[in-house]
Chains A and B, each alone.
Chain A
Amino acid sequence: MSPALQGLITIAVGVGGCLSYFYFSNLFLDKVLFPARGPNAGRNINRANMIRPWLFLAPALIALGLYLAYPVVETMRLSLTERIPGGGYRWVGLDNYRQMFREAKFWEAMRNNMLWLIVVPAASTAFGLLVAQLTDRIRWGSFAKSLIFMPMAISFVGAAVIFKLVYDTRPIEQQQIGILNALWLQFDGGAGSWALLKAIPSLILAGFAALSGFVGWLVLRPVIAGRFHSFGTPARIVATAASAALVVLSLRGIVELVGADFNYGAPQTWLTVPFWNSLFLMVVLIWIQTGFAMVILSAALRGIPEETIEAAIVDGAGPFQIFFQIKVPQIMGTIVVVWTTITLVVLKVFDIVFAMTNGQWETQVLANYMFDKLFRANNWGVGSASAMIIMLLVTPILVWNVYNARKEMR
């Protein structure tokens, strides 16, 4: 049977099956099980209404349980067992974890994931905020936004191809077809190169460090002032620590950048230079996620009460003061949401690394490490263990989201 026909039948069976399930189970409940007539009509209606929600929920709950809840438990179990050649499983306790912790490749993946976790959400949120603010008041703003938003529709694999072309390398005697190398060959190590490759990036990094420090300070201020909150205070301290880490990283980056000895005049194979290649992979995700951050932050900026800004203007605040001291504090909640959402994407990043380097040249990340263990090494124990590590990293965000959702429903 042709897959297209099979697809059509599945749609018909799936949709029709769902609808008829809902229709007939309701009918059964109302007409046969607890009919709303006879001596017990009132009691029957109440009983039917107690059962009906579960009829509506049943297919979803079964699917969720089977496809998301059960796998979490099962993966945890698998991570503590080992496959016996020939079939069956053996309980091995924490051996899989021990074996994984001994592997250099795992720690490389952890290191890279941490780097991704710091750089990508920060850069995407910063760019998103920048674009949201810049396009807020200009006439072609929505057009500009939709173009920057566009990469959201492009698959990670498509983006990987797009950026592979950007990073392409040809031997020195041929013309470069990758734009990055073509630009790179324009630099000769003179004053212009120094200004463009060292001074300006250092300034940007310094600005970024200042911004992170400032944000960290804003977040920490209520804690210093002594306002204690059972959940907020630890979260604020974690956020401050993260921004402090960003400051340190950017300052170290400046030092390294100024001291770096660039290989001018030779085309670079960008994806094989350790550390930098991870950054080049991150660029792909930043390129995709900035649009997401921009859309949400832009809506948040629009939602700021006009009076607060007018009052600031009357008091003589400049554009930068208005942005950093009036607008940003008011949308801090949204910035946190954007940040955590992008963090979740980063934790699961797989396709980009898989398609561009497949973890070679020290670009491994956890999700790709896991895929490698599962389907290439066929080691389900260690693969499950690394999946549990991803789950562990996601858990704080999970708790935070559930906490917020509950708070909001009250």
Chain B
Amino acid sequence: MSNIAGSRSALNWVVHLSVLGLVLLWLFPTVGLFVSSFRTADQISTSGWWKALFPSEQNLTLRATDPGNVEQLEEGGRWFISGNLFDEGVDASVSVWGVSSRDIAAFTPGDTADLGDGEVITVEANGDYVWSGAVKLEGRGQRVFATATTPPEFTFGNYRTVLFSKSTTDSMAKAFFNTLTVTIPATIIPIVIAAFAAYALAWMNFPGRAILIAIIVGLLVVPLQLALIPLLRLHLGIGIGKGYLGVWLAHTGFGLPLAIYLLRNYMVGLPRDIIENAKVDGATDFQIFTKIILPLSFPALASFAIFQFLWTWNDLLVAKVFLIDATGETTVMTNQIVELLGTRGGNWEILATAAFVSIAVPLAVFFAMQKYLVRGLLAGSVK
């Protein structure tokens, strides 16, 4: 018996560890982007983001202050310059250093290096140096090659660039508002239209109802790729052209089958008694719908609203076809990120930050309303 118990707990450990492993594996890519968005371009290109969380050892090329810029102290026939090799506020510690690029680990902190012509330099671990010569020092500041450990360092600079700068290629502010402008009407309008249709399909008897439901189930899977050219021609033909109105209409049309399907499935499950009692009391269908069905269907409405919001916010194809014209004034975030990938493919600090700005809103919605999302998924698929 104890044997069985033992194997149980071992298995339990395996389960916990594998879940932990999977979660970390799934989280790792996103965390990489998130960390990168807080690093400077230099930091990103010189070391992997996973090293950013720990103090890193770097080979630095530093320079003492140019003799022209400071006053030199004369003492006992020698001229002295002293200071710190690091910029102000940098909290680094030198482990080894050298004065020639061929031998960057010649000295340890506290050692004194002979530079020839009577010049010597001493470097301490915290970057303090004393540089002296037999004659007055001149020219440029002495170069020091140091291997230094610097603590993790993060910056909000990328977010400032991406959100508030006036640069037309980097700034996401306009695209952010454009995305919002596309998303909100495209989420709300299909809900209203679908709710009435779902009520008719769920609670009204009329010939052809079953066929209509079957057609809607069929339309649920029609790839929207098919709709691109005919609808673009239609929009151009009736004068809507490329613009917000077109993209709102397109998202409404594409979202309707799922909306009707989800809402109808939910409404069918509402208790029959309430509706029949209301009818006996003389309520019209319109009253029943607005006063009873709509409030009771809130969970299903919320589910669909989240779906549609995520889908319109994250969409690239529909926006590219129906919204974004040659001027690029109406670009959305997904499109701008794709363009950044093309033009600034190597500038990870901009890319990572831009991507994170676009991801942040859906992530917030996701974590705040996960319950409804899961409910909607279950209602939409397991039937």
Binding site for B on A (CB under 8 A): 3-4, 6-7, 10-11, 14-15, 18-19, 22-23, 26, 30, 49-50, 52-54, 56-57, 59-61, 63-64, 66-72, 74-75, 78, 127, 130-131, 134-135, 137-138, 141, 144, 146-158, 160-166, 168, 170, 174-179, 182, 287, 290, 292, 295-296, 299-300, 319, 334, 337-338, 341, 344, 347-348, 350-351, 354-355, 367, 370-371, 374-375, 380, 383-384, 387-388, 390-391, 394, 397-398, 401-402, 404-406, 408-409
8 closest A-B pairs by beta carbon, nearest first, are A67-B253, A155-B314, A153-B366, A60-B197, A74-B230, A56-B200, A71-B227, A161-B355
User: Other than the known A6-B244, A15-B192, A57-B196, what 7 A-B pairs have Cβ atoms closer than 8 Å?
Assistant: A6-B181, A57-B201, A68-B257, A155-B315, A166-B32, A338-B381, A390-B226
Q: Is there an interface contact between A387 and B382, defined as CB atoms closer than 8 Å?
A: no
Q: Closest residue of chain B to A148, judged by CB? A: B26
Q: Which residues does chain A contribute within 8 Å of B366, judged by CB atoms?
A: 150, 152-153
B282-309 CB mask vs A (1 if < 8 Å, else 0) is: 0011100000000000000000000000
B365-383 CB mask vs A (1 if < 8 Å, else 0) is: 1110010011001100111
Within the complex, the shortest CB–CB distance from A280 to chain B, in Å, comes to 12
Q: Is there an interface contact between A134 and B196, defined as CB atoms closer than 8 Å?
A: no
Q: Is there an interface contact between A296 and B286, defined as CB atoms closer than 8 Å?
A: no
Q: Is there an interface contact between B229 and A351, defined as CB atoms closer than 8 Å?
A: no
Q: Is there an interface contact between B184 and A354, defined as CB atoms closer than 8 Å?
A: no
The total number of A-B Cβ pairs within 8 Å is: 326
B208-236 CB mask vs A (1 if < 8 Å, else 0) is: 01101110111111111111111100100
Q: Which residues does chain A contribute within 8 Å of B249, judged by CB atoms?
A: 63, 67
Q: Is there an interface contact between A68 and B253, defined as CB atoms closer than 8 Å?
A: yes
Our pick among A52, A59, A63, A391 for the contact of B222 (Cβ within 8 Å) is A391
Q: Given A56-B200, A57-B212: A10 and B244 within 8 A (CB)?
A: yes
Q: Is there an interface contact between A387 and B221, defined as CB atoms closer than 8 Å?
A: no
Interchain CA distance A104-B199 in the complex, whole Å? 50
Q: Is there an interface contact between A63 and B253, defined as CB atoms closer than 8 Å?
A: yes
Within the complex, the shortest CB–CB distance from A241 to chain B, in Å, comes to 22
Query: Taking the complex as formed, is B326 at the interface, i.e. its CB lies under 8 A from any CB of chain A?
Result: no
Within the complex, the shortest CB–CB distance from B324 to chain A, in Å, comes to 11
Q: Is there an interface contact between A179 and B204, defined as CB atoms closer than 8 Å?
A: no
Within the complex, the shortest CB–CB distance from B352 to chain A, in Å, comes to 7
Q: Is there an interface contact between A295 and B177, defined as CB atoms closer than 8 Å?
A: no
Q: Which residues does chain A contribute within 8 Å of B20, judged by CB atoms?
A: 144
Our pick among B49, B248, B341, B362 for the contact of A154 (Cβ within 8 Å) is B362
Query: Taking the complex as formed, is B359 at the interface, i.e. its CB lies under 8 A from any CB of chain A?
Result: yes
Q: Given A57-B197, A63-B193: A154 and B359 within 8 A (CB)?
A: yes
Q: Is there an interface contact between B19 and A135, defined as CB atoms closer than 8 Å?
A: yes
Q: Is there an interface contact between B244 and A57, defined as CB atoms closer than 8 Å?
A: no
Q: Given A63-B252, A148-B26: A4 and B217 within 8 A (CB)?
A: no
